[in-house]
């Protein structure tokens, strides 16, 4: 299957819940960044009659606590924070809105890399034992949870969380905690710190593997995320709001499974929970009542930058597939089947004879593609892939992209009123990667576009490129889906190649048509990688 932004022909967009997330100029679903840590108040607030009288005393005490906290942190972590002076004075890099981290702006990752290997094993438990007490869960998982600190070339730093998955120091975390970094350090639960090296990172699925030179570490035990159901109790451990609060345990339930969430131009299928997560929890473990890791905490849904009861984790079954490729190859090669698909609404479901509007409707198969060779055809509805339910058209690309090329998969297909199974050998996405490479400048701009149809040109009374998705630099500048890019630096745009040609420098001036009017918008492009 092609990248969902490239060859996915999806219609009926208003019915896609995830597309509602695209409307704000700054995406609602954001990734974590470490803000200046502030110690919380330990005592009950004074009565109303004493508030004014005690205000100066309170402020003085708060100032003292902040200074003391910084001193204790510096003493406790020694040399680690000497390398991250920006952490103590709060000079963290913020792009866009305060307390948000935009993964499209980070630049090249220069953390030292290690040779790749296929000899890494982890502890995976298919048969769950008895439920543990919360205290037992914490004692089991917390030693495997680490603090990840990534220093950037400009003096800023990211603070996140990671989970140890081998006794000799392999650690899983979020890609956005690592991306753009020049050096990386890991702090164990014991307070010991190590310089970390990079095995590989996958920004599309937001996962990275790093390693420290240590042995005899407490490796986590991993469970089956496919076994989760809505309502299951789950727990999270991480560093919310700073290293001072490391090892914080929060609890909640599984609010939804297979939730399709649009992040930075990519749709991710995630576990939704109400476990309290905040800045610093990125990359930490989500685990079940047996103390088994079932997810990697990655995002929160927020309009304010803080926790609002909606948290999202990468299913561990998906994370393990990505991990295997990162450890072995240092990169991820996406699977490909070659179908164009459409979202199914209730009207289409009724027309096709489906009981519910679920699955991905095939509108076309690419010539000589794995899908065509397997016998998939127009009007087929793909309901499941290897037993995993395809809830919507955006779920399928996410599932296929994680499968290694050459792997035979089973598709459950609804055809002519009946379900049947079709074997498909997943192909390589080399063609997709080539397309992505040729669109590097478009990616730097942060938009996905297509030429206007003749009907659209007539209605809009202009030529140009229709913006289907906007993120990163373009979104920050105010460009959004539905805009028409008329020209770039004075050159009329008739094709994507025209746009790429004008995006070779670090900035571009776009003429944008919106709601019948036109405005000029200057955009500073993402740095070349």
Residues 6 or more apart in contact with residue 248 via CB below 8 angstroms: 237, 238, 239, 240
pLDDT of residue 88: 31
Query: In the chain, what are the domain boundaries?
Result: 48-77, 84-114+121-329, 334-432, 443-524
- 146 or 497: whose pLDDT is higher? 146
Q: Identify the band that residue 37 occupies on the pLDDT scale cut at 50, 70 and 90.
A: very low
User: Which among 284, 66, 276 is positioned nearest to 173, based on CA atoms?
Assistant: 284
> CB burial class (10 A; 0-12, 13-18, 19+) of residue 385?
buried
Q: Identify the band that residue 353 occupies on the pLDDT scale cut at 50, 70 and 90.
A: very high
DSSP H helical ranges for 267-354: 316-329, 346-352
Q: Identify the band that residue 142 occupies on the pLDDT scale cut at 50, 70 and 90.
A: very high
Residues 6 or more apart in contact with residue 220 via CB below 8 angstroms: 123, 141, 144, 145, 163, 164, 165, 285, 287, 293
- pLDDT greater than 90 at residue 144: yes
**Encoding tokens for residue 352?**
């096709």
Q: Which of 95-104, 424-433, 481-490 has the highest mean pLDDT?
A: 481-490
> CB burial class (10 A; 0-12, 13-18, 19+) of residue 344?
buried
Q: Identify the band that residue 16 occupies on the pLDDT scale cut at 50, 70 and 90.
A: very low
Radius of gyration of the chain (CA): 24
**Encoding tokens for residue 249?**
């345990």
For the domain with range 443-524, which CATH number is right: 2.102.10.10, 2.40.10.340, 2.30.42.10, 3.40.50.300? Answer: 2.30.42.10
Q: What percent of the chain has pLDDT over 90?
A: 35
Report the distance separating Cα 195 and Cα 178, nearest Å.
13
**Which value, to the nearest 10 degrees, does the dihedral of the CA atoms of residues 197, 203, 205, 210 take?**
0
Q: Out of 53-57, 90-94, 246-250, 260-264, which region has the weakest mean confidence (pLDDT)?
A: 90-94
pLDDT of residue 70: 44
Report the distance separating Cα 382 and Cα 78, nearest Å.
55
pLDDT tens digits, one per residue of 402-428? 788 888 999 999 999 999 999 999 987
Q: Identify the band that residue 470 occupies on the pLDDT scale cut at 50, 70 and 90.
A: confident
DSSP 135-165: HHHHHHHGGGEEEEEEE-TTS-EEEEEEEE-
Q: Out of 145-154, 158-167, 258-267, 313-322, which region has the weakest mean confidence (pLDDT)?
A: 258-267
Pairing status of strand 221-222 against strand 123-124? parallel
pLDDT of residue 287: 93
**Encoding tokens for residue 471?**
């993120």
User: Which among 269, 276, 268 is positioned nearest to 245, based on CA atoms?
Assistant: 276
- 33 or 260: whose pLDDT is higher? 260
pLDDT tens digits, one per residue of 278-313? 878 899 999 999 999 999 998 887 666 667 788 899
- 67 or 272: whose pLDDT is higher? 272
Whole-Å CA distances, 132 to 159, 229, 234, 292? 30, 18, 12, 10
- pLDDT greater than 80 at residue 457: yes
**Encoding tokens for residue 451?**
């030429």
Asked whether the beta carbons of 465 and 450 are under 8 A apart, the reply is: yes
Q: Out of 135-139, 299-303, 474-478, which region has the weakest mean confidence (pLDDT)?
A: 299-303
* Sign, Cα dihedral of 206, 207, 213, 216: positive
pLDDT of residue 138: 93
Identify the H or E element spanning 512: strand 507-514
pLDDT of residue 146: 94
User: Which among 479, 476, 481 is positioned nearest to 97, based on CA atoms?
Assistant: 476
pLDDT of residue 303: 61
Find out if CATH 2.30.42.10 is the number for domain 334-432. yes
pLDDT tens digits, one per residue of 496-516? 788 888 887 888 999 999 988
pLDDT of residue 476: 84
Asked whether the beta carbons of 125 and 292 are under 8 A apart, the reply is: yes
The secondary structure of 33-92, three-state, reads: CCCCCCCCCCCCCCCHHHHHHHHHHHHHHHHHHHHHHHHHHHHHHCHHHHCCHHHHHCCC
What's the average model confidence in pLDDT over 7-20? 34
What's the average model confidence in pLDDT over 135-146? 94
| Three-state DSSP state, 278 | coil
Residues with catalytic roles: 176, 206, 282
- pLDDT greater than 70 at residue 478: yes
pLDDT of residue 527: 64
- 5 or 331: whose pLDDT is higher? 331
Identify the H or E element spanning 400: helix 395-401
pLDDT tens digits, one per residue of 44-102? 333 333 333 444 444 455 555 444 444 333 333 333 333 332 333 332 222 222 222 33
**Encoding tokens for residue 384?**
């499941």
Question: Mean pLDDT, the chain, as a whole number?
Answer: 76
pTM of the entire predicted model: 0.60
Say whether 334-432 and 84-114+121-329 share the same fold.
Answer: no
pLDDT tens digits, one per residue of 165-220? 999 999 999 999 988 888 899 999 998 999 999 999 888 889 999 999 999 999 99
pLDDT of residue 218: 94
- pLDDT greater than 80 at residue 34: no
DSSP H helical ranges for 409-494: 430-438, 440-445, 454-460, 472-477
Count CB-CB contacts under 10 A for residue 261.
Answer: 21
User: Which among 344, 356, 525, 326 is positioned nearest to 443, based on CA atoms?
Assistant: 525
Identify the H or E element spanning 370: helix 370-374
CA 13 to chain centre: 22
Classified by CATH at the fold level, domain 84-114+121-329 comes out as: Thrombin, subunit H (2.40.10)
Q: Out of 64-73, 97-106, 382-391, 481-490, which region has the weakest mean confidence (pLDDT)?
A: 97-106
- pLDDT greater than 50 at residue 346: yes
């Amino acid at each position: 299957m092609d990248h969902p932004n490239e060859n996915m022909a999806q219609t009926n967009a208003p019915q896609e819940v995830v597309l509602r997330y695209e409307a704000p100029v700054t995406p609602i679903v954001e990734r974590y960044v470490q803000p200046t840590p502030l110690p919380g108040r330990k005592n009950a607030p004074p009565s109303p009659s004493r508030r004014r009288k005690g205000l100066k005393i309170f402020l003085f005490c708060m100032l003292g606590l902040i200074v003391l906290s910084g001193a204790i942190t510096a003493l406790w972590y020694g040399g680690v924070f000497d390398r991250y002076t920006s952490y103590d004075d709060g000079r963290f890099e913020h792009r866009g809105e305060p307390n948000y981290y935009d993964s499209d702006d980070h630049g090249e990752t220069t953390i030292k890399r290690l040779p790749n290997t296929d000899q890494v094993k982890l502890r995976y438990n298919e048969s769950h034992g008895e439920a543990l007490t919360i205290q037992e869960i914490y004692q089991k998982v917390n030693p495997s949870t680490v603090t990840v600190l990534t220093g950037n070339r400009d003096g800023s730093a990211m603070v996140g969380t990671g989970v140890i998955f081998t006794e000799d120091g392999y650690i899983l975390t979020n890609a956005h905690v690592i991306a753009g970094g020049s050096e990386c350090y890991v702090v164990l639960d014991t307070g010991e710190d190590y310089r970390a090296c990079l095995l590989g990172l996958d920004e599309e699925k937001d996962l990275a593997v790093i390693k420290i030179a240590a042995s005899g570490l407490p490796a986590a035990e991993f469970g089956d995320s496919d076994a989760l159901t809505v309502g299951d109790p789950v727990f999270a451990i991480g560093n919310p709001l700073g290293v001072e609060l490391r090892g914080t345990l929060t609890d909640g339930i599984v609010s939804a499974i297979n939730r399709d969430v649009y992040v930075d131009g990519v749709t991710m299928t995630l576990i939704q929970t109400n476990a309290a997560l905040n800045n610093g929890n990125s990359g930490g473990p989500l685990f079940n009542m047996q103390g088994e890791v079932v997810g990697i905490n990655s995002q929160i849904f927020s309009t304010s930058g803080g926790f609002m009861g909606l948290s999202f984790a990468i299913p561990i079954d998906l994370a393990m597939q990505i991990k295997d490729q990162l450890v072995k190859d240092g990169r991820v090669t996406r699977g490909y089947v070659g179908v164009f698909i459409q979202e199914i609404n209730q009207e289409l479901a009724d027309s096709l004879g489906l009981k519910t509007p679920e699955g991905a409707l095939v509108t076309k198969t690419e010539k000589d593609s794995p899908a065509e060779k397997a016998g998939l055809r127009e009007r087929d509805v793909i309901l499941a892939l290897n037993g995993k339910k395809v809830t919507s058209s955006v779920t399928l690309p996410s599932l296929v992209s994680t499968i290694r090329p050459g792997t035979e998969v089973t598709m459950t297909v609804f055809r002519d009123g009946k379900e049947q199974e079709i074997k498909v050998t997943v192909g390589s996405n080399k063609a997709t990667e080539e397309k992505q490479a040729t669109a590097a400048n478009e990616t730097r701009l942060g938009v996905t576009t297509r030429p206007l149809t003749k009907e659209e040109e007539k209605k809009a009374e202009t030529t140009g490129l229709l913006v289907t998705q906007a993120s990163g630099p373009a979104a920050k500048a105010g460009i959004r889906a539905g805009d028409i890019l008329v020209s770039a630096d004075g050159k009329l745009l008739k094709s994507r190649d025209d746009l790429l040609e004008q995006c070779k420098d670090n900035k571009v001036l776009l003429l944008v048509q919106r709601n019948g009017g036109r405005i000029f918008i200057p955009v500073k492009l993402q740095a070349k990688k």
